[in-house]
Chains A and B, each alone.
Chain A
Amino acid sequence: MVETGHFALVLAFALSLVQTVVPLFGARLNNQRLMAVGGPVAVTGFALTALSFAALASAYASSDFSLATVWENSHSLQPLIYKITGTWGNHEGSMLLWVLILTFFGALVAAFGSNLPATLRANVLAVQGAIGATFFLFILATSNPFIRLNPPPIEGRDLNPILQDLGLAIHPPLLYLGYVGFSICFSFSVAALIEGRIDASWARWVRPWTLVAWMFLTGGIAMGSYWAYYELGWGGFWFWDPVENASFMPWLAGTALLHSAIVMEKRSALKIWTLLLAILTFSLSLLGTFLVRSGVLTSVHAFATDPTRGVFILCILTLFIGGSLALFALRASKLTAGGLFHPISREGALVLNNLFLTTATATVLVGTLYPLAVEAFSADKISVGAPFFNLTFAPLMVPLLVMVPFGPLLAWKRGDVFGVAQRLMVAFAAALLATLVTALFIDGASVLAALGVGLAVWLILGALTDLAVKAGLGNAAAPIMVRRLVGLPRSVFGTAFAHLGLGLTVLGIVGTLCFGTEKILSMHAGEIVEISGRTVRFVGLYPAQGPNYSEDRGRFELIGVSGSPIGEISSAKRFYPVRQMTTTESGIKTIGLSQLYLSLGDEGKDGSVVVRLWWKPLVTLIWGGGLVMMAGAAMSLMDRRLRVGAPSRRRKQAVAPAGLP
């Protein structure tokens, strides 16, 4: 089975070379038969990669320690679920997952792209094949997961305990679906540059793919954030860690792409800019892969530091980013630019969105790469952390967030700001009220905190106003309104939900950062502590035994008003003997939208234990908002206008949102 997987991987590499060369020449020579090779080869390449991945997963599931990666990252006593998720909990396996998803997207283009112009389809598959080929070569040359050990060891070295968690099962696949999903937009852009023209089908294809990738990336980032929150035991949801930034940059650029693609699709303007953004977004995904996989950064994600890998990925990075940008520089002048438009219009608002988002992306990029640059050119070692990003990223985001509710309400071509402001009066009044109530009635609320709450309410109600206005609130009877609401295009709901989710996330962040409380103290069994009006009793420490660890579980009780316990929370110190590692399992109790978070520290000589408690108001909204954003993207995808591969009979009418079927 293992050898089959290895063989399939080599075959997939060979096929990816075929997929690169044959359709590309076919498109040049306008030879239908050569171009037609791309599709079946892409599908077969995906099947072979899937076979290879399945072989590795089954080696993990059956604890086949004759494989070096299994030996290094698995243990026979590990629960089966973590044996399987361990497949991608290491460098080699996660790179295999990366190419699996890449070939999956290539196969999707092959399967659903029958209505694309033949040359465009061939070129897209060729570019996709080229990306695949370099990564297959990277895996086979520097990170082969199928390397055998002789003689095979009897027992493995266990998966890193903090990766033995369900969050890890979901986080990397989601993140990769996002990262790699942008490869399709990249391939389409490069294909358009190779052809030297942007046609209508190009425009129609880029947006749904961006939506798919963006949706998964949003989920992946939210999941990763939640995983770090409960698994690392520090109670933080975002650390501005370079590895987090690596996934955040493509997300920001992807969000900009999502918006500029709307302008391109509806008004056929901003074509060249959208094309460039698509290239930049995937370039940032590649950069992210480089930062995380090369070992230039030390973090939980840097599984191994092998300099050859770093150099190899750097070469891939240079090849694709440099190559595509050079091609852009050569060909962009040939592409026909779209029309100009009035600055105060939906298009204008979307351009402003792009200006802010790309600038924000650039600040994050500078903050992430600056320490590396300083270290490369001088002996100094510096770190750029939260204080930097709070000072640069936040001032860019706040005006953008203030403007968000205006965007969807502005008309295409020529908008009326005052008219829109009137419609947003209710949302504005509510936001003002929320600000005042927060400032006056909540103890310890700073001015900034109150404004933050106001901003979140503004975003949430702004999104709902959009729906209400489009349903005709105020100038139609209720039954007609409901009918109109139901009849609205799905993409209108998509926009509203995405913006609503954004508002929820902002509310969660403001709530947690501005109104959260924290206590650190050493406690004896039976002791009682109060935090933000909630009473917690420390019951005691109890030893327990897990499948591949032993633990000291600290039990706590939440005491109700009557003085009797109303809930139990437990946090544990786990010891994994194989790796000689201790981890902290945090104890979390969700109360409404807020959470009580507990984390155990060291045991003192007198039997007391250091306990860190947090009250985190509205914290669940941070990730809940992410889920709502994903739902928004999913709704947009269901819009009939975007149904991938559907004929585009009614495109001419798509300009007026209310006029859609």
Chain B
Amino acid sequence: MSPSADPQANGPERNGRYFPGRGPAYWVCAGFACVALGAAGILLGYLVAESLPALRSQGWPFLLGKDWFVGENYGALPMIYGSVMATALALALALPFALGGAVFVAEFLPARARLIVKSIMELLAGVPGIVYGLLGMSFLAPWIKDAFGLIDGNSLLAAGALLGIMVLPTVMTLSEDALRSVPAEYRENALSLGLTQTEVVFSVAVPQALPGIAGAVFLGVGRAMGETIAVLLVIGGIDRIPSPWYDVFSPGQSIPSKLGREAAESLGYGLHWNALMGLGLVLLLMTMAVAFAGNLFLRRARP
């Protein structure tokens, strides 16, 4: 299995380290390393290739059209709107709690309590989407219906609130990590200048950790945007932009939910499939842009 017995196999020295030569193990590992690259490539390539017929037959109206009716029209705007709106609602609802919580846990809690709260948060980040969906349809949607006097609780607001609950632990733990990575001497210096503890936090720690916090928020956005099952169960499933557009009590449709409901109908077949893959491509580009921005911030956050 290993070519280590052969001294010739040793590669050149760099940075004081030896690299093994190109034995069979090298190529096996190289092949494995390319799996992720290949999977990402296949995914993007497939989505582009399969959505081309839809883009060609529908033209720009594919992105801007408001009407989606299988066999006639494929306009993606209601789904794009639904995805963006649900994600924005999720952020608006989750951010105050996630960031407030992160600051409190990072700056004011003793180490032991911190560890406990963080472990709980990480556990909750792992609760399956389908369980959140079950919670959403049993508790959240009926509650929204009663609280706001709607005729039905399945709405953009229900989807947004559910997504907010889902991403809260992720955003909170990652923001907390960012705050903890600010060196202690910054705080000590500020404290010695006579600032109160909260002043230190908001004038020193938070600004220093801002790129990391932004990264955490972007990762949360990506997760919210891609969630399928939980959203599918509470968003209402109507491919329509409400009027007025900010009426979050109306039902809507997000891209993943649309895919989850309709994909089985035309798996790999016809213009309908091409249009669905077009939606998939839009979703992929949106999440990639978000992930890219997030990683940019996270990398800046690391010294």
To the question of whether A and B form a pair in one complex, the answer is: no
Q: Could you list which residues of chain A lie within 8 angstroms of chain B, going by C-beta atoms?
A: none
Residues on B lying within 8 angstroms of A by beta carbon are none
